[in-house]
């Protein structure tokens, strides 16, 4: 029995990125592949009818290089979906912000890698990016968008997570979330590369980092958006202990790639079909193979009676109430 009835889809709209992050190789793509504009109405309708999607997380590559991003958001919003877009922040502009807000975007997440500008520039390969984000966050705060900062654990910041989270909140981000290091080579979502393995952190390093994040959670409350249940379960994962909340990928959470193929998630090769054709949804999904945060944490809400307390806690998260209020007050 799932407490939350609707599903989550992560849609990779392009395999191209304008950054040169040390943690992935999307930037090596020479000819980007992305859905055509005329396909978008069919895609959104299929997400609604075949996958019962309520929360559409738009990812990439760099999402803002996708030429029809505002149209996708508009169509998803029209179907009643909550939309989140993840970006490195380099292509955010006043015009882009206006178009996305007019389309009905709910959440715009920006990656923050380090509190030190020079370290972040080296990691992302985009000179001047931190300074640009500082300017853009002021503009974003004037909108109805919820704007979180995403921090991906890597060799570059593993010893500076507390300062980086403090830095992001001081900049004006609504909340901070963390992504555990992961390498994916089996699906069409390529994370990690031969030149630099950001996932090559020891379990001891990651366990120490998660304990630091738990302390940050106690200090900043809802501004560290993770649930204690997830943080404690991921600690169990890295300690090779029995976990309480398995991943529900393929049943309640899905990955849609830029070729419109549906997978259980970014890390597994299990193809469920094509969104414009037949899609096979898994029943009673149970997976503990990886710690992929964006799948493992929401899966808690689909874990039957065990998830009641977590869902109740989320209901009192001020940022989510702010999002709900903004959605209710937004002109239709």
**Domains of the chain, earliest start first:** 7-329 (3.20.20.70)
Looking at residue 219, its pLDDT comes to: 96
- CB-based contacts of 58, cutoff 8 Å, min separation 6: 11, 13, 69, 72, 73, 83, 84, 85, 86
For the whole prediction, is pTM greater than 0.85?
Answer: yes
Rounded to an integer, the average pLDDT of 238-261 is 96
Per-residue pLDDT at 174 exceeds 80: yes
Per-residue pLDDT at 122 exceeds 80: yes
Q: What is the pLDDT of residues 151-161, one digit of tens each?
A: 999 888 999 99
Per-residue pLDDT at 17 exceeds 90: no
Looking at residue 15, its pLDDT comes to: 87
Looking at residue 188, its pLDDT comes to: 65
Long-range contacts at 117-123 (CB < 8 A, ≥ 24 apart): 119/156, 119/157, 122/156, 123/21, 123/22, 123/23, 123/154, 123/156
Share above pLDDT 90 across residues of the chain, in percent, rounded to a whole number: 71
Looking at residue 2, its pLDDT comes to: 44
DSSP run (H or E) holding 212: helix 203-220
Q: Which two tokens stand for residue 26?
A: 């999307």
CB 249 within 8 A of CB 10: no
Q: How is residue 76 annotated by DSSP? A: H
- CB-based contacts of 51, cutoff 8 Å, min separation 6: 7, 9, 254, 262, 275, 279, 281
Long-range contacts at 24-31 (CB < 8 A, ≥ 24 apart): 24/190, 24/191, 24/192, 24/193, 25/190, 25/192, 25/193, 26/60, 26/61, 26/62, 26/190, 27/125, 28/193, 29/61
Looking at residue 3, its pLDDT comes to: 40
- CB-based contacts of 69, cutoff 8 Å, min separation 6: 13, 58, 63, 85, 100
Cα-only R_g, the chain: 19
Environment class of 287 (CB within 10 Å of its CB; exposed 0-12, middle 13-18, buried 19+): buried
Q: What is the largest CA-CA distance in the chain?
A: 50
Looking at residue 19, its pLDDT comes to: 73
Name the more confident of 124 and 311: 124
Looking at residue 1, its pLDDT comes to: 41
Looking at residue 81, its pLDDT comes to: 96
- CB-based contacts of 162, cutoff 8 Å, min separation 6: 212, 215, 216
Per-residue pLDDT at 255 exceeds 90: yes
Looking at residue 16, its pLDDT comes to: 86
Looking at residue 197, its pLDDT comes to: 55
The residues facing 196 across adjacent strands are none
């Amino acid at each position: 029995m799932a407490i939350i009835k609707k599903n989550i889809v992560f849609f990779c709209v392009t395999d191209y990125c304008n950054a040169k992050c040390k943690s992935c190789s999307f930037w090596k793509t020479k000819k980007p592949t992305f859905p055509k504009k005329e396909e978008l109405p069919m895609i959104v309708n299929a997400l609604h009818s075949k996958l019962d999607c309520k929360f559409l997380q738009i990812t990439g590559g760099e999402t803002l290089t996708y030429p029809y991003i505002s149209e996708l958001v508009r169509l998803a919003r029209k179907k009643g979906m909550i939309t989140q877009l993840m970006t490195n922040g380099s292509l955010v502009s006043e015009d882009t912000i206006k178009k996305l807000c007019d389309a009905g975007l709910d959440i715009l997440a920006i990656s923050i890698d380090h509190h030190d500008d020079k370290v972040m520039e080296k990691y992302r390969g985009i000179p001047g990016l931190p300074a640009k984000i500082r300017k853009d966050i002021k503009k974003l705060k004037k909108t109805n968008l919820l704007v979180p900062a995403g921090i991906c654990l890597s060799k570059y910041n593993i010893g500076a997570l507390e300062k980086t989270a403090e830095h992001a909140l001081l900049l004006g981000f609504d909340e901070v979330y963390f992504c555990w290091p992961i390498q994916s080579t089996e699906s069409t979502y390529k994370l990690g590369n031969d030149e630099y393995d950001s996932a090559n952190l020891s379990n001891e390093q990651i366990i120490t980092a998660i304990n630091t994040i738990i302390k940050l959670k106690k200090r900043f409350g809802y501004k560290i958006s993770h649930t204690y249940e997830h943080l404690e379960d991921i600690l169990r994962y890295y300690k090779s202990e029995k976990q309480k909340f398995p991943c529900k990928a393929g049943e309640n959470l899905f990955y849609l790639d830029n070729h419109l193929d549906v997978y259980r998630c970014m890390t597994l090769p299990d193809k469920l079909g094509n969104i414009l054709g037949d899609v096979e949804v898994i029943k009673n999904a149970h997976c503990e193979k990886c710690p992929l945060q964006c799948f493992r944490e929401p899966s808690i809400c689909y874990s039957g009676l065990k998830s009641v307390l977590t869902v109740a806690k989320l209901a009192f998260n001020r940022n989510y109430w702010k999002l709900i209020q903004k959605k209710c007050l937004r002109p239709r």
